[in-house]
Amino acid sequence: MVTIDRPFQTLSSRVVWSCPWYQVRQDDIAMPGGRNGVYHVIEKPDAVWIVPVTTDGQIVMVRQYRYTIDEWCWEVPAGSLKPGQTAEEAAHEELLEEAGGSARNLDYIGRFYLANGICNEAGHIFLATGVALGATHHEAAEVMEVHQFPIGQALEMARAGSITDGPSALALLLCADRLTALE
Amino acid sequence: MVTIDRPFQTLSSRVVWSCPWYQVRQDDIAMPGGRNGVYHVIEKPDAVWIVPVTTDGQIVMVRQYRYTIDEWCWEVPAGSLKPGQTAEEAAHEELLEEAGGSARNLDYIGRFYLANGICNEAGHIFLATGVALGATHHEAAEVMEVHQFPIGQALEMARAGSITDGPSALALLLCADRLTALE
């Protein structure tokens, strides 16, 4: 039933397309005012974004090639949760695989939705400190270089719009106060 | 040809699924090291996010129901570009439709990608000032209430993680210095 709290009621639901990374669910819905409609939801596992600070007080970022937009982008290490994995486990794994990083501490900063109009994916932001860097373990489709920046420079890049990956920019800006205290 | 600058080469490309809002393009690709693979790209029109400041110096935000996640979310007015529309035109239109707002000034703040691993959609952030509020024009599937907040409170909500819409939180944080100057 359509209610004040839940304005759309699901009348029927089925998956209409899928690939290994996500699927599209198509729902017939009842909306306020007695109108019916169709809502498509991209269902994708949650993902993590990690802001890593090394033992030398540097921020680790990756320069990653993104095929979807044919651009090289500045990002923090990130990746989707694997089945059965917690966000914290995913954060440690992605930090290690993408940047070769091992963190002494991992703090949970917050959660956000990437594109809540079309997709149910939530992103979880972590601040990793006391990070030591070693060998990376990039997957075949991951083309990236690992870089380090002073905290102030990384925050300035985020504020200046040089970090076009929305989630990475948001992760850095949400960590700003904590990072500034580490400078 | 796979090159240093363009690590993935498109071997073939076709649209495999579509709906009125976006479509999924499936590409066969050549990757570094002589490996081939498949990349799916969600192709969606760009969208705008507008941070509106009223003539009284209040920030306008909407409380919107998001079916994808069955949650009510704090957001700034936003929407996809219609065919042939510029980002600036879309910004004026969404501000008017969602919040009933007319801006005296519209400043372009920056651009970001919502989910660059799976989607090519870019978001464009605007700061609207001298905004006067009148009647809204919500579409059937848009269920939202219009609210106003002091600048400091809106920024605190963003920093505290109360704004779970990633793009809206990013828009507010990227406008932070300009907003603080208006307080």
- All residues of chain A having their beta carbon less than 8 Å from the beta carbon of residue B24 are 17, 19, 24
Q: Specify burial of residue B163 (Cβ count, 10 A radius: 0-12, 13-18, 19+).
A: buried
Q: Which two tokens stand for residue A125?
A: 């932001």
Q: What is the pLDDT of residue B37?
A: 95
Q: Under DSSP, is residue B95 helix (H, G, I), strand (E, B) or coil?
A: helix
- Could you tell me if B173 and B159 are in contact, meaning their C-beta atoms sit under 8 angstroms apart? yes
How far apart CA B117 and CA B158 sit, in angstroms, is: 24
How far apart CA B110 and CA B125 sit, in angstroms, is: 5
- All residues of chain B having their beta carbon less than 8 Å from the beta carbon of residue A6 are 65, 70
Tens of pLDDT along B109-167? 999 999 999 999 999 999 999 999 999 888 877 899 999 999 999 999 999 999 999 99
Q: Is residue A34 less than 8 Å (CB to CB) from chain B?
A: no
**Cα–Cα–Cα angle for B178, B138, B140, rounded to 5 degrees:** 140
Q: Which two tokens stand for residue A1?
A: 């039933």
Beta bridge partners of A80: A47
CA-based nearest residue in chain B for residue A32: B140
Q: Are B116 and A22 inside 8 Å of each other by CB? A: no
Q: Are A117 and B170 inside 8 Å of each other by CB? A: no
Q: What is the DSSP letter of B84?
A: T
CB burial string A96-110: b at 16+ within 10 A, e below: bbbbbbebeebeebb
How far apart CA B64 and CA B82 sit, in angstroms, is: 21
Q: Is residue B150 less than 8 Å (CB to CB) from chain A?
A: no
Q: Are A68 and B119 inside 8 Å of each other by CB? A: yes
Q: Is residue B4 less than 8 Å (CB to CB) from chain A?
A: no
Q: Is residue B66 less than 8 Å (CB to CB) from chain A?
A: yes
Q: What would the mean pLDDT of B169-183 be, rounded to a whole number?
A: 97
CA-based nearest residue in chain B for residue A158: B174
Confidence of residue B1 (pLDDT cuts 50, 70, 90): low
Superfamily for the A47-182 domain: Nucleoside Triphosphate Pyrophosphohydrolase (3.90.79.10)
Q: Is residue B17 less than 8 Å (CB to CB) from chain A?
A: yes
Domain ranges within chain B, ordered by starting residue: 9-43, 47-182
**β-bridge pairing B47-54 and B9-18:** unpaired
Q: Which two tokens stand for residue A135?
A: 């060998």
Tens of pLDDT along A34-82? 899 999 999 999 999 999 999 999 999 999 999 999 999 999 999 999 9
How far apart CA B144 and CA B135 sit, in angstroms, is: 13
Q: Which helix (H) or strand (E) holds B137?
A: none
Confidence of residue B175 (pLDDT cuts 50, 70, 90): very high
Place of tokens 């700034």: B76
Q: What is the pLDDT of residue A1?
A: 67
**Cα–Cα–Cα angle for A44, A45, A50, rounded to 5 degrees:** 120
Q: Which two tokens stand for residue A126?
A: 């972590």
What is the CB neighbour count within 10 angstroms for residue B116? 23
Tens of pLDDT along A79-133? 999 999 999 999 999 999 999 999 999 999 999 999 999 999 999 999 999 999 9
What is the CB neighbour count within 10 angstroms for residue B162? 14
Q: How many CA atoms lie within 13 A of B121 on its CB side?
A: 27
**Cα–Cα–Cα angle for B115, A149, A86, rounded to 5 degrees:** 45
How far apart CA B123 and CA B49 sit, in angstroms, is: 7
Q: Specify burial of residue B18 (Cβ count, 10 A radius: 0-12, 13-18, 19+).
A: middle
Q: Which two tokens stand for residue A93?
A: 């794994």
CA neighbor of B70 nearest in space, from A7, A22, A42: A7
- From B58's Cα to the closest Cα of chain A, the distance in A is 22
Q: Is residue B44 less than 8 Å (CB to CB) from chain A?
A: yes
Tens of pLDDT along B61-74? 999 999 999 999 99
- All residues of chain B having their beta carbon less than 8 Å from the beta carbon of residue A35 are 140
Q: Are B166 and A167 inside 8 Å of each other by CB? A: yes
CA neighbor of A170 nearest in space, from A43, A47, A23, A41: A47
Q: Are A164 and B113 inside 8 Å of each other by CB? A: yes
Q: What is the DSSP letter of A76?
A: -
Q: For chains A and B, what is the number of CB pairs under 8 angstroms?
A: 168
The amino acid present at A148, given as its one-letter code, is: Q
Sign of the Cα torsion B153, B157, B163, B166 reads positive
Q: Is residue A42 less than 8 Å (CB to CB) from chain B?
A: yes
